Amino acid sequence: MNLTRIKTGETVHLEDGFLWSDEFDWQPIKQQLDYAVDGTPIVQEGKKKGGRPITLLSKDASQGWIQRKYLNQLHDWSIAQAEQFTLQFTYPHDTRSFKVIFNHENTAFEATPVKEFPTVSEDDYYNVTLRLLEFTRDAN
């Protein structure tokens, strides 16, 4: 899959092996139940307009790696305020695309060296967790 910074068109390729851990946890319908004085249920519901979490993680130490040279760029993107990205799946069976921002409500970015000791090269690999939100900011 690819993560593209919309403002500049820069792209980082995320290697296969990332798991979208909360793919089916999203509940797009918000519902509130109240009762009238006579006991009649009053149900209000609406569809959420954004905010779907997309958590991409390395499920185990043998997959979902990113080289340090790309990790630095992802980290810089994760701390840039008001940035939007396109997350594009590139699997033969899944080519969905999402407009996303980093999820700072939770920890947006985590990384640990695969070999669990300090890296010595920009080519060393890291296990990474990226927490994103499907979201589009208006241009106004």
Per residue in 44-59, pLDDT (tens digit) is: 999 998 899 999 988 7
CA distance 70 to 67: 6
For residue 88, being part of any structural domain is answered with yes
Count Cβ atoms below 10 Å from residue 72 Cβ, excluding itself.
Answer: 13
pLDDT at 140: 40
Q: What range does the domain containing 18 cover? A: 2-24+50-134
For residue 70, being part of any structural domain is answered with yes
The model's pTM: 0.84
For residue 35, being part of any structural domain is answered with no
Q: What is the tally of structural domains in the chain? A: 1
Q: Return phi, psi of residue 68, to 5°.
A: -55, -35
pLDDT at 137: 67
For residue 127, being part of any structural domain is answered with yes
Classify 78 as helix, strand or coil. Answer: helix
